[in-house]
Amino acid sequence: MKKEEQIRMLLHPEQYTDEQLDQMLDEVEVPVPDAGEAWRAFRNGGKQIEENRGSFYLVRKIAAMFVGVLMLSGIAYAAYHVAYSTAGKSSAPSQQTEIRSQHRQTAAQAVAGEVPQTAPVVYEDAELATILGDVAAYYQVEVVYRQEASRHIRLYYTWDKQATIDDVIDTFNKFERIHITRDNKKLIVE
């Protein structure tokens, strides 16, 4: 059988019978590796085999070191982010407490007739009820909510205490979901 026909039989075995395929397989010569070369390496003390084995172990050691460095850097990265996120969460409640105590002091100073120089107060992801509670205490007004849901709107807001109550109301009314009106000493949130 010619090689071209054998190749055709291998590529399209569905076109041939089982007997034809068996006959083709019987005629194919399978090359056997030279046993003499392996025997010579064995007689020389296996030096060639050991050389190959040494380079294999070197590659494995390098791969192990690379994996170790990746793991350590991953652990360090995770530890940094856990520590950073934990530090940020634990300081937020104390920051709000500090802000509230500053507001109480300023309200007391305002009652005493002193005009304090104050820095803007920053609220990060705070509820509208919290912010307006501080604003109402500072300007000595009452807050009335028409809908309970509006109390829980969360905002990022910077309050400048030097601004008038009307300026603060205008700033809040620029938010999409908030509408505040003033009726004498009442802030009405709709």
pLDDT at 167 over 50: yes
- Average pLDDT (2-29) is 80
**Nearest Cα to 189, choosing from 160, 154, 148, 158?**
148
The pLDDT assigned to 141 comes to: 94
Q: What is the mean pLDDT of the chain?
A: 78
**CB-CB contact of 92 with 126 (8 Å):** no
Answer whether 180's CB lies under 8 Å from 189's CB: yes
pLDDT of residue 49: 53
Pairing of strands 186-189, 142-145: parallel
Residue 150 is given by DSSP the state G
Tell me the average pLDDT across 123-134.
Answer: 92
Least confident among 11-20, 21-30, 119-128, 143-152 = 21-30
| Neighbour tally for 182: CB within 10 Å | 14
Confidence of residue 170 (pLDDT cuts 50, 70, 90): very high
- Between 72-81, 89-98, 147-156, the lowest mean confidence (pLDDT) is in 89-98
d(CA 138, CA 88) in angstroms, rounded, equals 28
Cα 185 to Cα 2, 91, 140, 165, 189: the distances in Å are: 107, 34, 7, 10, 13
Token pair belonging to 146: 């028409």
Map tokens 């397989």 to a residue.
25
Cβ 131 vs Cβ 158: under 8 Å: no
